[in-house]
Each structure stands twice: as C-alpha cells, then as structure tokens.
C-alpha cells in the first residue's frame, strides 16, 4: 500500500480509485472517436470516392464513436449495437446527453447480439478495439462477417482494428501510459495476462493507477482468440467480401502525411 493511499484511509477520505468512473477512464485512455471518424471517412473515400453517411458500430459499448459521427455532419446517422445494458446506459447519460437534440435523434441504439441482421443497411460498419476476437473459432468469425456484410449496402466498407507483433505474445507484459497529469491524474495499464500458443487463446486486462497511489485493478478483462491479419483476410474472403486492405498506423511524429496513409 502506498503512503498516499494510507493517508487517505487514515483521514477517512475516499481514494481516487474508489470514486473513479471506469467507463470515463476507459474513454480517456483508449478511445479517440474524432480520429476514428476521420479514418472511416478516409477508408470509404479510398474505396468509392465519396463521403459516407450512415454508420453502424458493432460492440459499441458507450458508443462514443456514434456520437462523434453524427456530430461531424448534419445528415449523418449512427446505429450502435451492444448487448450490455449497463454500458449503453452510461453512454446515454454521458455521451448522448452532450449532443444537441437534433443530433441525438440521429443515433439509434440496439441492445442485442451483433450477430443479427438489422435494417436499414449502412455505408460503414465498424468493429473496433479487437472486439470480434471474442469469437474463438473460424466458424463463429465467418458467421459474424457474413452477417456484418448483410448489414452493409452494396457500396459499403467494414472497418476493424488489429494488433500484432512479437511483444503481443509475451505474458506479463504491461504497457503503461500517463493519461491525465497532476493531482487528479491517472495512469493506464494494459496487461497481457496470458497467451496459449497452441490455441491462441489470450487474456488481457486494463487497470488504472491514480495520483494518490490507489488502483482500479483489472477494471476491464478480455478473454479472446488472438487472430492474425492473414487469418482475418482469409475469413473475410470466405464470408463474401470482395477485397480487403491493410492500413498501417503512422506512429512517427515526423510524418506529415495522413495518420493512416500506408495501406496495401
């Protein structure tokens, strides 16, 4: 126990971790909705030479991307799909509520399994933050991809993000980043808990450490199948997608080009 945390307990003051909102910490640490909206626009323009209007966000959680999407242009609509009622309600209270009434009307939320067909179809379907890795067999992933394809218009794109590289298979590796500085600040810890090289099953956890030394340990836990880019491209093709492209995120601060300018 840290000294700062001990002082808080002795004085009767609540720790920062005890009053922290894990969803708020997550959004500040993991999500950049404005960047996602720009990338979706870029990917659609690269494919069709025009601007997309309608978005579906599968595994939407607090649907921050949906909210940024409808705020970016006056005719844009968004559908957020997730089966967690708690997460969706947090998004209603903290993200949707910040939009103008006219923008709120263009966001539709559906509490259900993402493996269901809905209408209307959309221009862009997003499955971000490795969410589809919850499906651990090829059959499950292909089934999901087929349904995702059916939720797209004939001129539509599906967007997913991936992670990879040798370090991703190292158990116990923790990536630490300071998110907010100062006395009210906190750090984000991404922990690679376990990896099974035989099944490719992997577990990850997100924790938050606060300026007073208190921790929100394993605020979020994930148990996934670690899929690789070649596997995903093969499954997309089997599900009926005509082509797939890989965009590499530019981490070099000296690069003046688009953030996702490299693709194949």
d(Cα 186, Cα 177) in Å, to the nearest integer?
Answer: 9
Same structural domain, 135 and 195: no
Give the pLDDT confidence of 88-99 residue by residue, as tens digits: 999 999 999 999
| Predicted local distance difference test score (pLDDT) of residue 183 | 81
| C-beta of residue 183 within 8 angstroms of C-beta of residue 211 | yes
Q: What is the mean pLDDT of the chain?
A: 91
Structural domain containing residue 22:
15-26+165-225
Residues 232, 110 share a domain: yes
* CATH number of the domain that residue 78 is part of: 3.40.50.150
User: Same domain for 141 and 194?
Assistant: no
- % of the chain surpassing 90 pLDDT: 83
Tell how strand 152-160 and strand 122-127 pair up.
parallel
pLDDT over threshold 70, residue 251: no
Q: Are residues 110 and 197 in the same domain?
A: no
Q: In whole angstroms, what is the distance from residue 60 CA to residue 81 CA?
A: 6
Residues 138 and 194 in one domain: no
Residue 88 domain-assigned?
A: yes
- Whether residues 85 and 186 share a domain: the answer is no
Q: What is the pLDDT of residues 198-219, one digit of tens each?
A: 999 999 999 999 999 999 999 9
The answer on 197 and 90 residing in a single domain is no
24-28, 160-164, 190-194: least confidently modelled range: 160-164
């Amino acid at each position: 126990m840290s000294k700062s945390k001990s002082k808080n307990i002795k004085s009767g003051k609540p720790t920062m971790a005890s009053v922290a909102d894990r969803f708020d910490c997550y959004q500040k640490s993991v999500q950049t909705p404005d960047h996602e909206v720009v990338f979706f626009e870029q990917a659609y323009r690269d494919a069709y030479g025009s601007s997309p209007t309608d978005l579906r966000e599968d595994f939407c959680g607090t649907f921050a991307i949906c909210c940024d999407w409808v705020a970016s242009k006056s005719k844009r609509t968004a559908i957020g799909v997730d089966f967690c009622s708690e997460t969706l309600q947090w998004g209603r209270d903290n993200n949707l509520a910040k939009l103008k009434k006219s923008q709120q009307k263009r966001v539709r939320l559906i509490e259900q399994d993402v493996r269901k067909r809905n209408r209307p179809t959309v221009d862009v379907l997003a499955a971000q933050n490795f969410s589809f890795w919850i499906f651990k067999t090829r059959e499950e992933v292909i089934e999901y991809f087929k349904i995702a394809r059916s939720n797209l218009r004939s001129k539509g794109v599906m967007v997913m993000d991936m992670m990879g590289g040798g370090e991703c298979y190292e158990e116990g590796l923790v990536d630490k980043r300071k998110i907010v500085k100062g006395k009210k600040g906190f750090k984000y810890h991404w922990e690679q808990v376990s990896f099974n090289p035989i099944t490719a099953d992997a577990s990850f956890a997100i924790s938050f450490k606060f300026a007073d030394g208190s921790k929100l340990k394993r605020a979020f836990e994930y148990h996934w199948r670690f899929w690789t880019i070649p596997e995903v491209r093969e499954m997309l093709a089997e599900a009926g997608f005509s082509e797939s492209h890989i965009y590499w995120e530019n981490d070099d601060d000296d690069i003046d080009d688009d953030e996702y300018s490299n693709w194949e």
